[in-house]
Amino acid sequence: MSLVSDRVGGKVALISGAARGMGASHAQVLAAHGASVVIADLLEDEGRALAEKINAEFNDGTDRDVALFVHLDVTDYESWTAAVSAAVERFGTLDVLVNNAGIFTRGSVEDADVDEWRRTIEIDLTGNFLGMKAAVPAMKAAGGSIINISSIAGLVGFKNRAAYAAAKWGVQGLTKTSAMDLGPYNIRVNSVHPGSVKTPMTAGLKRGFGQIPLGRDAETQEISDLIVFLASDESSFMTGANLAIDGGETAGNNLRQDA
C-alpha cells in the first residue's frame, strides 16, 4: 500500500493500546496519511508484528522506519515516560497522543466487583491522566494534539456498566479541563465517543442495532478517519470538544414508536 495523503505528514503519533482493535487501525491509518507512529501496548507479539507490517507498507524508500513498537502499561507512570522518551529518541519529537487503551467491564453498583471497578478506573481513566502527564513535557514547546478515547458510555448512562461509564465520563471531564490548562501551549485536547465498533473487545457481545439510526456497527476505519482529522492541522481551532461517532445512537430514542 502506498501513502494515501500527507495530511499528518511529518507528525509523530503515540497510540496506546495499538496492538489490536481500534488502536491498530489508528496506527495504520495515521501512517497511511504520512505520520510516524509509536505502537504502545502490553501485547508484545501483536504490537511488534503490526510495526513490521506498517514499516513494510509505508517505509518512504529510505531506511527510516515509520513505526516503532514500545511496551506500555498505561497504569504505570514510569512505563509512560519510557514510551514517550522512546518516541522522541526515535522520531525526534511527539506531536500527537491517542489515549486509546481500555478495558470493558460489566456490573451495576449492586453487583460490580470492587477490584474490577478499581482496575477499570485505573486503566480507562487514570491511564489517560498518566499518558497526558508524560506527553505534555515533550509537546509543550511546539504544541500538539491529544485525543482521548471515551465512549458513548461517557455521554449518556449505560446500563450494567457502572465502572466503565464512570471512567468514560471521567475522560470527558479530564479532556475539557485539560483543554483549558494546555491551550496556552497550543496543545489541543479532544475526546472521541465511539458507539459500537467491530473490534476484539465487542466480538463476544450479543446485541441488535435497532437503537442505532444507521442500523449497524462501525468499521474501525470509520473511527480512524476522525482520528486523522483531529491529529492534523485541519482541526487547529478545535479543543475541548466531545465528539460522538456512533451512527446516531445518542441522537435520541430510536426505538420510540409514535404513530
Rule CB under 6 A: say whether 170 interacts with ligand NAD: no
Instruction: Indicate the residue among 160 and 202 with the shorter CB distance to ligand NAD.
Output: 202
Site stretch for ligand NAD (CB under 6 A), options 6-14, 95-103, 129-137, 140-148: 95-103
Question: How many amino acids of this chain bind ligand NAD (CB under 6 A)?
Answer: 29
Catalytic residue among 80, 91, 117, 164: 164
Compute CA 2 distance to the chain's CA centroid, rounded to the nearest angstrom.
24
Among the listed residues 15, 12, 58, the one whose alpha carbon sits nearest the alpha carbon of residue 35: 12
Whole-angstrom distance, CA of residue 151 vs CA of residue 242: 10
Residue 77 bears catalytic tag? no
CB 227 within 8 A of CB 130: no
* Strand arrangement, sheet containing 12-16: 67-71, 36-41, 12-16, 96-99, 144-149, 187-194, 242-245
Pick 34 or 194: Cβ nearer ligand NAD: 194
Binding of residue 247 to ligand NAD (CB under 6 A): no
17 lies in the site for ligand NAD, by CB under 6 A: yes
Provide the residue type at 230 as one letter: L
The yes or no reply on residue 87 touching ligand NAD (CB under 6 A) is no
Helix (H) or strand (E) holding 244: strand 242-245
Q: Is 151 in the site for ligand NAD (CB under 6 A)?
A: yes
Q: Residues interacting with ligand NAD, by CB under 6 A?
A: 16-17, 19-23, 41-43, 72-75, 100-104, 123, 149, 151, 194, 196-197, 199-202
Residues annotated as part of the active site: 164
